[in-house]
Copies of this chain bind each other. A is one copy, B any other.
Amino acid sequence: MRTLQVDLGERSYPIYIGGGLLEKAGDFFEQHQQSTKSPVLIVTDDHVAPKYLPVVETSLQAKGYRTVSKVVKAGEKSKSLDVYEEVMTTAIEGGLDRRSAVVALGGGVVGDLAGFVAATYMRGVTFVQMPTTILAHDSSVGGKVAVNHRLAKNMIGAFHQPEMVLYDVDSLQSLPPRDVRAGLSEMIKHGLIWDAAFADWCREHTADLLALDPEALGYGLTQGCSIKSQVVSVDERENGLRAILNLGHTLGHAIEAIGGYGEFLHGEAISIGMAAAAKLAVNRGRDPQIYKQTVSILSGFGLPTAMPAHLNEQDVIGAMMHDKKFKEQTMVFILPLAIGRVEIVSDVTLDEVRQVIAELKEEGQHV
């Protein structure tokens, strides 16, 4: 087992990464001195529940915890205020009190949803993450929790750091291949923004990672969490540096929103977004290699890098307007300077974005 400490002063917490951790959930709760007098709410989804919910329930109950579980429908649509309200109902009916813990057992969707419940139930209770997707290595660091508004993604949320993260890599073996790829997209992102050597390592271990080789996964997830944690420690509430984590996200979120949060997975959408950011950088005079290398590593993982032909340019621009990164009338983008280094620019014009969208549609036609 690897332990990574996320360094946030009095809100610091450990991420435990290794095999067989879910069946030890009760031990970790005990170790973290969670009171057995207060019920624990486990939030999970209907893909994850049949596989892993009983293990966690049994482990917690064996240590004397009373558990209540809420199983939501799998998929981004569960990150809604309606489902949030349902989870709140379960929490209240289950008798959760101010010393209770809310557990997110699942991917980023369940993590963000359960995290927002934990942040706001009785104005905030203990939050424990048990990620079961690769993508969730990203959402398990940094304390951002949220649900979507019909008009824009992650619009309603909070900062709420977990008490601990139990990352059981065994659970990743059952992930569908499409979610494996989408999750690796954020891992690659961490290389692209911060660590060229890690980006190289990802490229070299493409096959191992796609095959869910435990050793490669363990290293890649630890490295990904560690990079994110370094960034977040410097800037917990995104006043500056933290924005670099949004590489590919300005456009990515727009693509997700117009697909109704169903057509594209988050990791797929940001893969296109990262390709677009690289193209935009090149259009501004950066080395054309940046775009070629970005596309090469992402497409090596089977991730999309062209703009789907059926997406309407005006819809994409419209959805970006609602995005948080569109602040004070100027459009903020994270652009690569080289592999492993990015800059935050705030003067991107609509014309530049239109041009990149057109160019990335072109790319799609060559394939």
Tell me the A227-266 residues at the B interface (CB within 8 Å). Answer: 237
Kindly state the interface size class of chain A when it binds its partner. Answer: 35 or more
Tell me, yes or no, whether A347 is within 8 Å of chain B by CB: no
Quick one: CB contact mask for A262-292 with B, threshold 8 Å, 1 for yes? Answer: 0000000000000000000000000000000
Q: How far is the CA of A98 from the CA of B37 in the complex (A)?
A: 39
Tell me, yes or no, whether A41 is within 8 Å of chain B by CB: no
Inter-subunit contact B97/A324 (CB<8 Å): yes
Tell me the A53-90 residues at the B interface (CB within 8 Å). Answer: 81, 84-85, 88-89
Q: Give the chain B neighbours of A89 by CB distance below 8 A.
A: 149-151
Q: How far is the CA of A95 from the CA of B151 in the complex (A)?
A: 11
Given A81-B85, A146-B123, A159-B123, do A151 and B93 touch, yes or no (CB 8 Å)? yes
Inter-subunit contact B152/A98 (CB<8 Å): no
Residue in A35, A85, A95, A99 whose Cβ sees the most chain B Cβ within 10 Å: A85
Assembly of this chain: how many copies? 2
The chain B residue with its CB closest to the CB of A326 is: B97
Inter-subunit contact A324/B81 (CB<8 Å): no
Tell me, yes or no, whether A314 is within 8 Å of chain B by CB: no
Inter-subunit contact A97/B328 (CB<8 Å): yes
Inter-subunit contact B99/A328 (CB<8 Å): yes
* Nearest 4 A/B pairs, CB to CB: A37-B328, A97-B327, A123-B157, A92-B151
22 A–B pairs (Cβ distance < 8 Å), ordered by A: A37-B329, A38-B328, A81-B81, A81-B84, A81-B85, A85-B149, A88-B155, A89-B151, A92-B149, A92-B155, A93-B151, A97-B324, A97-B328, A99-B328, A119-B158, A120-B156, A120-B158, A121-B155, A121-B156, A123-B146, A123-B159, A158-B158
